Chains A and B, each alone.
Chain A
Amino acid sequence: MPHTRSLLRVARRMTSDPAAAEDLVQETMLLAWRNFAQLREGSSARPWLFRILMNAFYGHGRRMRSAPAMVPLDAPANAPGGERGQKGLWAPAPSLEATDAARALDTLSEEHRTVLLLGVVEGFTCGEIAEILSVPLGTVMSRLSRARQALRHRLEPKPGLEPKPAELKCAKTDG
């Protein structure tokens, strides 16, 4: 089943719980099966599947949603958030910055994680993300900008630069 791995990868990062992620993707695929007729002819199934995934995720309210992880950036690569840091037999090891970036993602807010996962990791355009999340294009653009800033702040903290109030909770864990 194409796209299952992508859906599962995003779901794991959204829920921080492998079992909950599998339940979410199973629900997504079953909903897709039942509503297959709603997929417009000629349109791509991938954004459609991710839209179902996101609707299911937000539909579950707080039960399935994870707070930003409190992960120090010098924690072992395989600490929280599933199995990142592990590689396939032939896949080259991710660089140190890649490992750090993936770890820092888990410390971001749900809103920031969502747009980075969709836009940067899964390669959706801003227009596609707007459709997946049912928000205006401008909202996606500003969320992506803020999310990138927040991620960069985690990776390159500047001395004397105070994090914004929304980032305080997670920023405390960085030191």
Chain B
Amino acid sequence: MTCKDVADLQPLYLSGELEREMNPARYSAFRVHLATCESCAREIERTAEIDRALRDGVQADQIESVPLEHRVRLGIAAGRRPRMMMWMAAAAAMAAVVVMGVIGSQVLLMRPSSPLCNAAADDHRAEVVRGEHRAWRTTTPEIQVLAERPGVSVPLSAPPGYHLDRGRLCRLEGQVYLHLVYSNGAQEFSLFLRHRGAELPPGAAKDSANGRPLYTADRGHEHVAFLQTDRLTALIVTDQSSRTALELARFAASTL
């Protein structure tokens, strides 16, 4: 593995696809090179910094989409109007709202983020409870590079008694999340983070902390807490109890 190889593979590394696209031996060689070549490590770190700056800069654009969405609904209704009665056009507009909701959430449910909570619970069960083999990053600088991808930062603090043990990227409902695992030596919980998008909470809020509503959902033995800050979507998964999930979410709400 040469410095040029690393430079060529940099896009896949920064997008979190490298491990999947390469055979294990070559991926391992990439990691070894990065760990031993200061120049390549610095180059990737700087690229990730500029990526983050670009993302923050463009996402600061003020986008007002409501008038456009109104135009789209009218456009959908108007497209059918010549062959329809007015009440049918109104019904078409309402149907458009439903279908566009489906396009966004993929499901015909009023609680479209439930699949997200389920996906987080399944990921936690596979990777943390069952310990299925995954390539985790275990140092904060490595995890911080990963965090650029979903547009987040590694939290500065952990709940009392816990420490950040490892991290990796994963996909939940088609979106890239930073999956962090915290441990207190006996028990572990997962924290999934990504830049806030169109995710919707599951059902009604169960509690609030620091002015942020906290939501919970259960899936089998896994208990999920969901919260959002102005910039982040966070899911916490524990196999201890719903109450523990909520307590961890309260901590996250006050520190993220």
- Report chain B residues within 8 Å CB of A13: 58, 61
Q: Are B11 and A9 in contact (CB under 8 A)?
A: no
Q: Are B101 and A98 in contact (CB under 8 A)?
A: no
Closest to B148 in A: A120
Question: Which residue of A85, A102, A105, A125 is within 8 Å of B15 (Cβ)?
Answer: A125
Closest to A123 in B: B176
Closest to A117 in B: B58
A98 to B151, alpha carbons, bound, how many Å? Answer: 13
Question: Which residue of B11, B65, B151 is within 8 Å of A144 (Cβ)?
Answer: B11
Question: Which residue of B11, B68, B101, B175 is within 8 Å of A140 (Cβ)?
Answer: B11
Closest to B174 in A: A44
Query: In this assembly, does A80 line the interface, its C-beta being within 8 Å of a C-beta of chain B?
Result: no
Question: Which residue of B9, B10, B63, B173 is within 8 Å of A9 (Cβ)?
Answer: B63
Q: Are A101 and B54 in contact (CB under 8 A)?
A: yes
Query: In this assembly, does A76 line the interface, its C-beta being within 8 Å of a C-beta of chain B?
Result: no
Q: Are A101 and B60 in contact (CB under 8 A)?
A: no
Question: Which residue of B54, B68, B176 is within 8 Å of A120 (Cβ)?
Answer: B54
Q: Are B15 and A126 in contact (CB under 8 A)?
A: yes
Query: In this assembly, does B141 line the interface, its C-beta being within 8 Å of a C-beta of chain A?
Result: no
A49 to B174, alpha carbons, bound, how many Å? Answer: 14
A-B CB pair tally, cutoff 8 Å: 170
Q: Are A86 and B100 in contact (CB under 8 A)?
A: no
Question: Which residue of A39, A87, A94, A145 is within 8 Å of B11 (Cβ)?
Answer: A145
Contacts known (A1-B104, A39-B103, A125-B17); A33 close to B68, Cβ less than 8 A? no
Question: Which residue of A30, A33, A91 is within 8 Å of B231 (Cβ)?
Answer: A91
Closest to A2 in B: B104
- Chain A, 1-56, CB within 8 A of any chain B CB: 1-6, 8-9, 12-13, 22, 25-26, 29-30, 32-34, 36, 39, 44-46, 49
Closest to A88 in B: B62
Query: In this assembly, does B22 line the interface, its C-beta being within 8 Å of a C-beta of chain A?
Result: no
Complex interface: stretch among A57-65, A67-75, A148-156, A160-168: A148-156
CB distance from A86 to the nearest CB of B (A): 4
CB distance from A31 to the nearest CB of B (A): 11
A30 to B17, alpha carbons, bound, how many Å? Answer: 32
The digit string for A88-108, where 1 denotes a CB below 8 A from any CB of B, is 101111110111111101000
CB distance from A19 to the nearest CB of B (A): 11
CB distance from A3 to the nearest CB of B (A): 6
- Report chain B residues within 8 Å CB of A93: 60
Complex interface: stretch among B30-38, B69-77, B156-164, B243-251: B69-77
Q: Are A148 and B47 in contact (CB under 8 A)?
A: yes
Q: Are B71 and A26 in contact (CB under 8 A)?
A: yes
- Report chain A residues within 8 Å CB of B16: 125
Closest to A155 in B: B50
Contacts known (A3-B198, A30-B76, A148-B47); A86 close to B62, Cβ less than 8 A? yes
Closest to A96 in B: B53
- Report chain B residues within 8 Å CB of A111: none
- Report chain A residues within 8 Å CB of B79: 30, 34
- Report chain B residues within 8 Å CB of A9: 58-59, 61, 63
> What are 11 A-to-B residue pairs whose CB atoms are below 8 Å?
A1-B72, A4-B69, A8-B65, A26-B71, A26-B72, A45-B103, A84-B60, A98-B54, A98-B56, A117-B58, A123-B149
- List A residues at the B interface (Cβ < 8 Å): 1-6, 8-9, 12-13, 22, 25-26, 29-30, 32-34, 36, 39, 44-46, 49, 82-88, 90-95, 97-103, 105, 116-117, 119-121, 123, 125-127, 140-141, 144-145, 148, 151-152, 155
6 closest Cβ pairs, A-B complex: A2-B104, A102-B57, A44-B174, A98-B57, A2-B198, A98-B56
- List B residues at the A interface (Cβ < 8 Å): 7-12, 15-17, 46-47, 49-63, 65, 68-69, 71-72, 75-76, 79, 96-97, 99-101, 103-106, 149-151, 173-176, 195, 197-198, 230-231
